[in-house]
Structure 1
Amino acid sequence: MTDKVSFGYEDVDPQEKTRRVGQVFSSVAAKYDIMNDAMSGGMHRLWKDRFVRRVKPQPGEAILDMAGGTGDIAFRMAARGADVTVADINQDMLDVGIERAMERGITGLTWSNQNAEKLTYPRATFDAYTIVFGIRNVTDIPAALKEAHRVLKVGGRFFCMEFSTTEWPGFREIYDLYSHKIMPQMGKIIAQDEESYRYLAESIRRFPTMPVFESMIREAGFANTRVEPILGGAVAIHSGWKV
């Protein structure tokens, strides 16, 4: 790693980013799903449905859903019969997911406090690894990608959905205005937390472009990588296979 990493538009020490990202998600955990609905107009639900269709979870498959604290993706995959482990570095986010699962009567999920950069699972444990809107908050992204590759079985698949940079002319300017001006104000009004949502908006702008991130996935050892843009790349589904 370099000496500094990005925290929004700031460059900070790696340990400082990990600490501050932890504070952000502890702060927003209770209102995370409400804010997702407000910020995306509910579209995040459609994106997640689409994502799970791409993953194609099968009955009995062992799937690791990293940074999946609130359970949104895990609930969808478990409904298809997969054995899902929900992992997150932030216990507050996991607690929200566990409470939601109890409210919905969803059982059979495994919940685990894990650092994506240093997973505690043995090599070749999972059939699939998913991470949705979480990879950009990881301090050492290449390390997390290598860990994803390590814990997958041969033939296992990696799927990531993350915000990116839209390539639609005109829409990019509108999206930048929305994310930098409106999103923090929505955070202030709905979650009483303007600064956390300012960071989340800035972190999207600092995340690698789709081609660059795809190359990072390949460098971690994955083959047959693919990118599926949504809204011109405002959101993108990345995938790869361990062969």
Structure 2
Amino acid sequence: MPADALFWDKIAEKYSCSPISDMAAYDRTLERVTHYLRPDHRVLELGCGTGTTAVKLAPHVADMIATDVSQKMVDIGIGRAREAGVGNLRFAVAQPGTAPEGPFDVVTGFNLFHLLADQDQILEAVRQRLKPGGMFISKTPCLSDTRSAVKRLAIRLALPVMQRLGKAPSVVQFMTVAAWQRQIEAAGFEIVETGSYPDDIPNRFVVARRC
């Protein structure tokens, strides 16, 4: 089992009980995501965590598969979907690069890509799973653009200690919004919408169409 799967398994229960830190930003993100969803769409979510977002998005589409590396996260997601009565949502344990092949109309990844060492490979995997013209919708903390220099420094200093103690994932990428968006475009996408919700990190929301 990959090290990060063990990490997420370990914190799954605590994670599932943690409140969303900025509900207004989360609601704004959901609003923009659902703008691009259609009742006939097939959707794949990468890094679904405990399924909160998948449960909210699935009623807007025909079929949705939510994936995560953590079996315990997925188990919680299955329970949430059952409790919500969402019948068109399936879950699977998978690495981002080995998720179901599709093709899909939309692939999503929220708070995921800064935790991946192989971003270019996963972006290519996303592109391959999308229909021509399909949408990649993501939201990614771009830690190098954190507005507060003090906060930015604090994160950089604390992160290695937290990783050694098993309190943080083994990979956390520091990138800028500009660099991240260039990376998406270089992978064969056309960016059609961006925004930061919230904007103090910023947590960059990007909608990109497969070219």
TM over 0.5: yes
Give the 5 Å matches for 1:15-94: 19-35=2-18, 37=19, 42-43=21-22, 45-55=23-33, 56=35, 57-94=37-74
Whole-Å Cα distance in 2 between the matches of residues 139 and 167 of structure 1? 19
TM-score (norm 2): 0.83
Cα 1:28/1:237, change in 2 over 3 Å? same
Distance 1:180 1:31 in 2: 24
Equivalent AA in structure 2 for residue 28 of structure 1: I
Structure 1 position 136 matched with structure 2 position 104: no
Whether 2:178 is the aligned partner of 1:211: answer yes
Corresponding residue number in structure 2 for 1:105: 85
Separation (CA, whole Å) in 1 of partners of 2:164 and 2:15: 13
CA distance change for structure 1 residues 19 and 46 in 2, over 3 Å: closer, same or farther? same
Give structure 1 stretches of 5+ with no counterpart: 1-17, 186-192
Q: Deviations along 1:72-97, whole A, 9 cap, x unmatched?
A: 22111123244211112222211111
| Aligned mates of 1:179, 1:97 — CA distance in 2 | 31
Q: What is the CA-CA distance between 1:235 and the residue it aligns to?
A: 1.1
Structure 2's unaligned 5+ residue stretches are none
Q: Does the 8 Å contact 1:28/1:196 carry over to 2?
A: no
Separation in structure 1 between the aligned mates of residue 145 and residue 117 of structure 2, nearest angstrom? 26
**1:107/1:69 CA distance change after superposition, 3 Å:** farther
Aligned mate of 1:117, from 87, 97, 103: 97
- State the 1:25 CA deviation: 0.6
Following superposition, the deviation at residue 126 of structure 1 comes to 0.8
Partner of 1:237: 205
Q: Would the aligned equivalents of 1:89 and 1:115 in 2 still touch at CA under 8 Å? A: yes
Task: Number of aligned residue pairs: give it.
Answer: 207
How far is the alpha carbon of 1:225 from its aligned partner?
A: 5.2
Amino acid across the alignment from 2:5: G
Shift of 1:176: 5.0
TM-score by length of 1: 0.73
Write out per-residue CA displacement over residues 42-65 of structure 1, whole angstroms, 9 at most, x where no aligned residue.
31x433322222222221211111
Report the Cα distance in structure 2 between the residues aligned to 1:173 and 1:226, rounded to whole angstroms: 30
Which of 194, 202, 207 aligns to 1:227? It is: 194
8 A Cα contact 2:113 2:119, kept in partner: yes
Once the two structures are overlaid, the 10-residue window that deviates more, 130-139 or 225-234, is 225-234
Relative distance call for 1:198 and 1:87 in structure 2 (3 A) is: closer
Distance of aligned partners of 1:66 and 1:199 in 2 relative to their CA distance in 1, 3 Å threshold: closer
8 Å CA contact retained: 1:214, 1:227: no
Task: Return the letter of the residue paired with 1:52.
Answer: L
> Given that residues 114 and 142 in structure 2 are in contact (C-alpha distance below 8 angstroms), is that contact kept between their aligned partners in structure 1?
no
* Alignment-mate amino acid for residue 203 of structure 2: V
Q: Please provide the CA RMSD for this pair.
A: 2.9
Instruction: Give the corresponding residue for 2:165.
Output: 195
